[in-house]
Structure 1
Amino acid sequence: MKFEILAITLLAASVGAVPLRTDEANDWQLISDVNGRMHIVDLTATDMEAEPLFNAYNDVVFRLFTRSNPTTPEAQIIRINNNEQLANSFFNVNHPTRFHVHGWNGGGQNTGASIRNAFLNRGDNFNVFTVDWGIGATTPNYILARNRVNDAGNIVAQFIDFLNAYGLSFNLIGLIGHSLGAQVAGAAGKRTSRGIVASIVGLDPAGPLFSLDDPANRLHHTDAQYVECHVTDGGRLGFQHPVGHANFYPNWGIQQPGCGPDLTGQCGHSLATTFMVESINPANIFGASRCRDLEDIRARQCVISGPSRRLGGEPVQDGPAIVGSVYFLATNAASPFAQGPR
């Protein structure tokens, strides 16, 4: 029998919780794309319809934004190893440089706009690159998009090495990725050849088809000098286990306030980006308490086991963090979501 990927857009209110069904033949799950559309995906499917090839070197687009060119029409496209384009752009080798990587079915000229604007509104000293791997990510076939993560990450790594050869310090580089984009960011961090990036923030890193037992093919704390994870729909659309240095579980990492029943998890999954955007504004502090471990989160009873720290922010690293440390915080049900320091 032939199993094909079904991509059916659904209204969240009309479906049940994920996974929908698991048996010996297939594993049907609802997975959200970057636009909030839910798709039914058979995670065991192997016989997939052919689609156009994804040539990451040619197809991934890097758009540069600065305070001198802050909007989409003014974006400057920079190609790998094109020193002339870089020299004629607004790129400043002395400025902190942030990358945003979108998730499944994302991409396009305006991808990452909220993150981009948050940095540019904060100050005039940021280079912000949006990573558009939409040709690889825009497909009804989630498995195909997932299998392109390492290819996309490899090109991001090559681009970072190019910037470093041009004179940019690895200590100035931070990556932020949502869902499947968080896994791309991790793949990039693994593959840089000239140094290790300063930070990676995984915004509810994608869970389906990523394994705790396969750190070589998922986000891992060794992918950057500091890795932070924000888990907002853990165990469904997001990867629940603490895989970074500091791992934050707003509202216990699932069923976010303001999302209602959120049967599919899409609302909570997308809120990870909203929280990060808000945190970049220094007026918004997401204070979090350190718990003992993931079991505290699952039991919804945090036993304080160390100093508090803030989620997100700029710079993202709020002091040293023990690998695998776990933090709980509550948020408001509407913006402003931050409840201040703890």
Structure 2
Amino acid sequence: MLACTRLALLGLVLLCQGIEENSGGDSCDNFTDLNLSHCFLGTSLYVRLLLYTRVNPACGRELHHQRFPSEPLFNLSRPTAFVIHGYRPTGAPPVWIDHLVRLLAEQRDVNVIVVDWNRGAANLNYLTAVAYTREAAHNLTGFIRSMQEEGASLDSMHLIGVSLGAHLAGFVGANLKGKIGRITGLDPAGPLFTSATPDERLDPSDAMFVDVLHTDMDSFGLRGAHGHIDFYANGGADQPGCPKTIFAGKSYFVCDHQRSMFLYLCALNGTCSLTAYPCASYADFLDGRCLQCEAFKPASCPQLGYDVIQWRESLLKLGQTKAFFSTTASHPYTKLNYRVDMVTWNQYLRWGVVYIRLHSGRNVTEARIDHKLLRFEQFTSTRLLAQFDEDLPHVHKISLRINTGNVIGPRYKIRLLRIRLTPLERPQRPLMCRFDIFMEENTEVAFRPLSCDSRL
């Protein structure tokens, strides 16, 4: 209900802003460019298929559903990636289309087909767009079957669906009995799908491999797990850097939902290395309980993006897997994670939060482990996850503070028999240790890290 209300408010915001689109005038076949008048009056479904390859990464060629074999650039022996957009309440072409097409073409020699169903998706009435997804899926299914008759292989096809387009991709996969090679769902749409059965939405049976990214589960995105692997950025709901109040305008409604595409583009571009940690919940991940991936082949934690397919064998054996990661507020989004192991020997039980700073020359980055109060008592081993916004390769000093919130009365001593920092995404770097540290609560102590084989 909340998401549907926000959808209605978003339509009013965009209407007031009067967003209009520019029309293309070159010889390329461009994505259908509509405006608010089309959306207000309503559009009927019409599906166009625009082909891009490494030869024409910036100039689409429209494929006719029956006469496509005559297109010289369309090589059916190559893998094919289908890009399927979602609901378009203004009729505007998605801002990310060109970027995604180019990056997909750079990954490998593929046919990239943009499934342009803007006539149908562009309706102020969201229910109408939802109803058209089945018909658009039937249309695309027919085209893929025609490709198959001409010699194309279903297992070489990859459908990338965004929001409502993720469910459309799922319907296509179901029509083809799950024989499509791969479906990627980027924040599958939540409104009208929250109570849907598996055959009414994207689910793991729709393709041989289904990977899903969640960024807005509390509004426009869909809660739960719907792939062989589901990635949850920052827990899958509120994203850092996105506005928290309606006074931010359009961004308040779409920022969390759009973050799924920006994270995926960043991963494809190679500027982000977004390692995710399989875990039961985001809370367990933040508690440092899920920081090992020995069960996976390759023996490392899966990474968001095109190459997650290399973990397919392990994921299919394990069943549905949830994987969590945290990001920064802006590009390149990557946080550097350290596993922090501490052994305390303080006389009195203390509760608090931990702040760790890494120093490299004049550069400093801080991790705040403050999502809950931590327990520090005599001869207790504690494991923490410290997440830093910057990657400092040469750390010469570490600062540590345990804040108990005690502002009156005596300050108690805390003794650490050992602290060890293990860089999780940089296994080639040495572990950093320090032994027998005395500190006061709420007071920062600084020390030089030592080799974990050393002793003071």
Q: TM-score, normalised by structure 1?
A: 0.77
2:5: which partner in 1?
Answer: 28
**Displacement of 1:300 after TM fit?**
6.8
2:312: which partner in 1?
Answer: 319
2:411: which partner in 1?
Answer: none
Tell me the secondary structure at the aligned position of residue 311 of structure 2: coil
Query: Which runs of structure 2 are paired with 1:1-342 in the superposition (5 Å)?
Result: 19=2, 28-30=5-7, 37=14, 51=42, 53-54=44-45, 59-71=46-58, 74-82=59-67, 85-105=68-88, 108=93, 112-123=97-108, 125-192=109-176, 196-261=179-244, 264-282=252-270, 284-292=272-280, 296-297=281-282, 301=286, 303-304=289-290, 307=293, 308-314=301-307, 316-320=309-313, 321=315, 322-339=318-335, 342=425
Tell me the secondary structure at the aligned position of residue 5 of structure 2: strand
Greater CA drift, 321-330 or 140-149: 321-330
**Displacement of 1:337 after TM fit?**
2.1
Of Structure 1 and Structure 2, which has the larger fraction of its residues in strand?
A: 2
Larger Rg: 1 or 2?
A: 2
**Displacement of 1:31 after TM fit?**
6.0
Asked whether the equivalents of residues 231 and 248 of structure 1 are also in contact (C-alpha less than 8 Å), the reply is yes
Tell me the secondary structure at the aligned position of residue 207 of structure 1: coil
Tell me the secondary structure at the aligned position of residue 95 of structure 1: coil
CA separation of 1:272 and 1:262: change in aligned 2, threshold 3 A: farther
**Displacement of 1:317 after TM fit?**
4.9
Asked whether the equivalents of residues 65 and 76 of structure 1 are also in contact (C-alpha less than 8 Å), the reply is yes
Tell me the secondary structure at the aligned position of residue 30 of structure 1: helix
1:268-313 alpha-carbon deviations (Å, 9 max, x no partner) = 1001011111212345321100002xxx237774632862211122
1:43: which partner in 2?
Answer: none
Asked whether the equivalents of residues 286 and 310 of structure 1 are also in contact (C-alpha less than 8 Å), the reply is yes
**Displacement of 1:128 after TM fit?**
0.3
User: For the residues of structure 1 that align with 2:9 and 2:225, how far apart are their CA atoms?
Assistant: 21
Asked whether the equivalents of residues 47 and 116 of structure 2 are also in contact (C-alpha less than 8 Å), the reply is yes
User: For the residues of structure 2 that align with 1:286 and 1:92, how far apart are their CA atoms?
Assistant: 33
CA separation of 1:248 and 1:299: change in aligned 2, threshold 3 A: same
Asked whether the equivalents of residues 97 and 172 of structure 1 are also in contact (C-alpha less than 8 Å), the reply is yes
**Displacement of 1:96 after TM fit?**
2.0
Amino acid paired to 1:237: F
**Displacement of 1:331 after TM fit?**
1.6
User: For the residues of structure 2 that align with 1:323 and 1:232, how far apart are their CA atoms?
Assistant: 22
Amino acid paired to 1:205: P
User: For the residues of structure 2 that align with 1:33 and 1:110, how far apart are their CA atoms?
Assistant: 17
**Displacement of 1:165 after TM fit?**
1.5
User: For the residues of structure 2 that align with 1:63 and 1:335, how far apart are their CA atoms?
Assistant: 29
User: What is the Cα-based RMSD across aligned positions, in Å?
Assistant: 3.0
1:130-157 alpha-carbon deviations (Å, 9 max, x no partner) = 0000111011100110111111111111
1:9: which partner in 2?
Answer: none
CA separation of 1:144 and 1:70: change in aligned 2, threshold 3 A: same
Asked whether the equivalents of residues 51 and 60 of structure 2 are also in contact (C-alpha less than 8 Å), the reply is yes
Tell me the secondary structure at the aligned position of residue 276 of structure 2: strand
Asked whether the equivalents of residues 212 and 241 of structure 1 are also in contact (C-alpha less than 8 Å), the reply is no
CA separation of 1:261 and 1:316: change in aligned 2, threshold 3 A: farther
Asked whether the equivalents of residues 178 and 202 of structure 1 are also in contact (C-alpha less than 8 Å), the reply is yes
Asked whether the equivalents of residues 122 and 281 of structure 1 are also in contact (C-alpha less than 8 Å), the reply is no
CA separation of 1:314 and 1:158: change in aligned 2, threshold 3 A: farther
Q: Which has the higher contact order (CA 8 A, sep 6+)?
A: 1
**Displacement of 1:314 after TM fit?**
3.6
In percent, how many aligned pairs have the same letter? 28
**Displacement of 1:173 after TM fit?**
0.5
**Displacement of 1:159 after TM fit?**
1.4
